[in-house]
Amino acid sequence: MPPTPPRSSGMPDDTALVIIDVQVDFCPGGALAVNDGDAVVPVVNRLADRFSTVVLTQDWHPPGHSSFASAHAGAAPFSMAEMPYGPQVLWPDHCVQGTPGAAFHPDLEVTRAQMIVRKGFRPGIDSYSAFFENDRATATGLAGYLSDRGLRHIVLCGLATDFCVAYSAMDGRKVGLAVTLVEDACRAIDLDGSLDAAMSDMRGAGVTLATAETLAG
């Protein structure tokens, strides 16, 4: 394997890029496609060149996951269900372990990543956030990894702004990190106003909003 090239214009060493769920099923043609989702790939790739620490997250559901509408008789995709941990959107089957749809987008540059956080692999609970599953208590281990590495600031990008990216941003603040969201390196589902709600929540939590261009400045 060729050596990783040096960063072109580095971010501080205490800052990590966290790339959320840039997977085939979330891109056009996928099972849960985010509108224009593949447009984030070149922006994310350029960002990754500037960070010494890069983390990827990957939705990784077993077949028949409880968050799938198909697991609930008569339920329609995008309807709501009450789970032991609270209300849950029921999604189309997506990012099933080992399937082509669960793979990272083929044009995503993954060689810089030192860690992949797989989430949603427990059959009975969904996991939007890179830090906690949807019970808001079961940890993924990312917070400990970042702490052990001396990382105090995360820059977030990926899919989708109003679900997995927003939950990760809010939980990043919850565990005491500075958090920046790169808006043009994300795309949203926008389910019944979920994008506006997520942006308001993130601003209220102290998440910094940036673009790839302003971040470079």
pLDDT digits (tens, 9 = 90+) for 177-190: 999 999 999 999 99
Tokens 């500075």 appear where? 178
Q: How many domains does the chain have?
A: 1
Flag whether 149 is in a domain.
yes
Question: Region 129-158: what's the mean pLDDT?
Answer: 97
pLDDT digits (tens, 9 = 90+) for 68-127: 999 999 999 999 999 999 999 999 999 999 999 999 999 999 999 999 999 999 999 999
The count of C-alpha atoms lying within 13 angstroms of the C-alpha of 42, restricted to the half-sphere facing its C-beta, is: 2
Flag whether 1 is in a domain.
no
CATH of the domain at 206: 3.40.50.850
- Least confident piece of the model among 9-18, 66-75, 88-97, 134-143: 9-18
Flag whether 23 is in a domain.
yes
Instruction: Report, as residue numbers or ranges, the catalytic residues.
Output: 21, 119, 164
Does residue 165 contact residue 158 with C-beta atoms inside 8 Å?
Answer: yes
Flag whether 163 is in a domain.
yes
Containing structural domain, residue 39: 15-61+97-216
Q: Give the global pTM.
A: 0.94
What pLDDT score does 3 carry? 43
Flag whether 91 is in a domain.
no
Flag whether 81 is in a domain.
no
CA angle 164, 188, 92 (to 5 degrees): 70
What pLDDT score does 217 carry? 61
Q: Using 50, 70 and 90 to split pLDDT, how confident is the model at 9?
A: low
Give the integer Cα–Cα distance in Å for 63 and 61: 6
What pLDDT score does 99 carry? 98
Q: Is the pLDDT of residue 8 over 60?
A: no
What pLDDT score does 5 carry? 44
Flag whether 119 is in a domain.
yes
pLDDT digits (tens, 9 = 90+) for 54-74: 999 999 999 999 999 999 999
Flag whether 10 is in a domain.
no
Q: Using 50, 70 and 90 to split pLDDT, how confident is the model at 215?
A: confident
Question: Region 154-177: what's the mean pLDDT?
Answer: 98
